[in-house]
Structure 1
């Protein structure tokens, strides 16, 4: 009975992906800005994004990054588990595929699927054989412009058990990400993002990052 349910779920997921119902691609641009200039960027984003009169949404998350080595594939399966540290909300499991660095595209494109899950997800993934690669805390602001999402976040390391989570700052700058989740076949999104990114210059230079040159994936 359980095997039948799993098979049916896979068929439903496959059908949804083929019908372009599920947003399974992430278009991404990234950059950074010094702490001393981040207030200017926040002000610029408040003027450019939706809900100009409202304060930007804030977040404070712990993100755990795992990988699962597969004998038949050279690249590991990359998984993320995220949970909010400032509110009682479901855990989020995210699959991230290998980035496609097509020079003809203005953004990095990678497969991405997000699902809500329970607090036992880390135990479940560990039992499956997933290995912890790294974890970090991100705290900052979320802005939205139509279907685009812009995050401005301070990245902090996860220290030893005797210290408070997220107390160790990694750098003197903020990570800025411009992203859109969409189904396959919506390549025009990249041009929209490029035009928006141009409006943030010279405060921040958003670009597609080749993580292979950096020795790993984000």
Structure 2
């Protein structure tokens, strides 16, 4: 009889357990493929060049459940671009605040729509002419993700995101150490998967 009463008392908590709830702390890490259209502008000489870029991204984030549907946190994104490393290298690093809305919540699954905004730093080294570009700017992202928790504390996710990176105050340093104003803008999508740990 005592066991039956205990099960009756615990059943509402078990039945109402969701994959995302108020007070949850979720640590995530994954790998993305980024695909961007790029615009590079030389404001002094009025030259504009457009191109494309591919990158690998390692998003690492922490999210806290403010309510049963809303989470906030921070995400870091080391981002390395595909290039011939004998001639050039390019990378950027983002640190962004995030806000997610979780819906379609079940015990093992939820979907979220989120936004992220923060700071970003970009570095490009041209090994042929020894020029270097550095820029500090902003990162903006809108993403949608499916979060799966087949186990109570361990899960995985898959997501699709739109990213915008703006380096309006960039500089190119030539071989003589002279600095030239240069602007760089990237817009595109990223898709990826990763693991999550929930506390």
Scaled to the shorter chain, the TM-score interval is: under 0.3
TM (normalized to structure 1)?
Answer: 0.22
Which has the larger strand fraction?
A: 2
Which has the larger helix fraction?
A: 1
TM (normalized to structure 2)?
Answer: 0.23
Which structure is higher in RCO with an 8 Å CA cutoff and minimum separation 6? Answer: 1
